[in-house]
Structure 1
Amino acid sequence: MAVDVRWATTEDAEALATVLCEMAAHYRQSPLDHGRATAAARRWLGDESPAYPHFALAFAGREVAGFASVAIAHPGIDLERLMFLKDLFVRDSARNKGVGQALVSFLAGHCLDKGIGRIDLTTEDWNEGALRFYARLGAERHGQKIFLRLSKPALARIARA
């Protein structure tokens, strides 16, 4: 299957919304309203800086097949920027057809072109398919970090402090 990957633009809001809705269902989250997801995607894509695109979309033919959501972080102790891969999702109909590989290859090429030194990512410890996929790509497990989250209640409490 030929897969085309590119950075999403505001014209891709509906395609991004389609994948976001399917991802929510896949992970057994509350169903997303497609219209609301499209409006959110349009807003996000309109807000993005061209220097730091956040959504890569994969297409197989005319159909959206998957996406990657990323953020670029500025230097840490090594003075190199890094890309954080927040989400990588391939639609059920496009699984095991090279879409995930195409998305990560696209991101890796972007990193090399822009002098970004690495891609960091997380996945659930129970997601064996994702763990195998990333291992095949050469991802190394790092036990040095612990994943933490400040959710909305914590944000509200901290903001009032």
Structure 2
Amino acid sequence: MAVDVRWATIEDATALATLLCEMAVHYQQPPLDHERALSAARKWLGEESPAYPHFALAFVEGEVSGLASVAIAHPGIDLERLLFLKDLFVRDKARNAGVGRALIGFLADHCRRHGIGRIDLTTEDWNEGALRFYDRLGAERHGQKVFLRLSGEALKAAKP
């Protein structure tokens, strides 16, 4: 089965919204309203810089099958940019068909072509399927960092 991967454009807003809604259900979050997700997708895809696309979409036989949500971070101590993979999601019916591998391959190729030295990502410690997938790809587990988050009241309290 051929998997086609490309950077999402404004014309892909409906496909992106569909995946965002399915992703919320998969991760046991409250269901997203499709119209709200579509509005967000249109906004994000309409405002993104073409130099730093943020969503890669995978298609199998013309049907959207997966997404990668990414951000490019500028140099840290090694003076090398990195691609941060925020989310990798494959629809249930497309799992184990090479969609995730195609998305990672697309991102890796983008990194090589643009002088980006690595892909960093996180996954939940309970997500055994994702951990096995990344292990098969040769991803190294790094225990040097602790994942933290400022949200809700903590975000409001972090004023200048």
TM-score range, shorter chain: over 0.9
Counterpart position of 1:37: 37
Report the alpha carbon displacement of residue 152 of structure 1 after superposing the two structures with TM.
Answer: 2.5
Residue 13 of structure 2 corresponds to residue 13 of structure 1: yes
Task: Give me the whole-angstrom Cα distance separating, in 2, the residues matched to 1:111 and 1:36.
Answer: 32
Letter in 1 for 2:58: A
Q: C-alpha separation between the residues in 2 aligned to 1:154 and 1:53?
A: 29
Q: What SS does the aligned partner of 1:46 have?
A: helix
Task: Please give the per-residue CA displacement for 1:112-134, whole angstroms capped at 9, x wherever unaligned.
Answer: 00000000000000000000000
Q: What is the alpha-carbon distance in structure 2 between the residues aligned to residue 90 and residue 67 of structure 1?
A: 7
Q: Deviations over 1:45-80 (max 9, x none)?
A: 111111110000000011100000000000011111
Identify the residue that residue 110 of structure 2 maps to in structure 1.
Answer: 110
Partner SS, residue 36 of structure 1: helix
Q: How does 1:96-135 map to 2 (within 5 A)?
A: 96-135=96-135
State the 1:28 CA deviation. 1.2
SS of 1:38's equivalent in the other structure is helix
**Secondary structure of 2:158's aligned partner:** helix
Letter of the 1:24 counterpart: A
RMSD: 0.7
Q: Which amino acid aligns with 1:140?
A: E
- 1:53-132 aligned at under 5 Å gives the runs 53-132=53-132
Number of corresponding residues: 160
Any idea what the Cα deviations from partners look like across 1:12-65, whole Å, max 9, x if unmatched?
Answer: 000000000001111111111111101100100111111110000000011100
Q: Distance in 2 between matches of 1:125 and 1:25?
A: 19
- How far, CA to CA, are the matches of 1:134 and 1:20 in structure 2? 22
Q: Supply the distance in 1 between the matched residues of 2:152 and 2:120 (Cα, whole angstroms).
A: 24
Q: What is the rounded CA distance, in whole Å, between the counterparts of 2:11 and 2:72 in structure 1?
A: 22
* Aligned-partner SS, 2:65: strand
Structure 1 residue 101: deviation in Å?
Answer: 0.2
Give the alignment's TM-score, normalised by structure 1. Answer: 0.98
TM-score normalised to structure 2 length: 0.98
- CA distance in 2: counterparts of 1:62 and 1:100, whole angstroms: 16
Aligned-residue offset at 1:82: 0.2
Amino-acid identity (%): 78
Question: Which amino acid letter does the alignment assign opposite residue 129 of structure 2?
Answer: G
One-letter code aligned to 1:59: F
Cα distance in structure 1, aligned partners of 2:113 and 2:48 = 19
Q: Which amino acid aligns with 2:115?
A: G
Structure 1 residue aligned with 2:51: 51
SS at structure 2 position matched to 1:17: helix
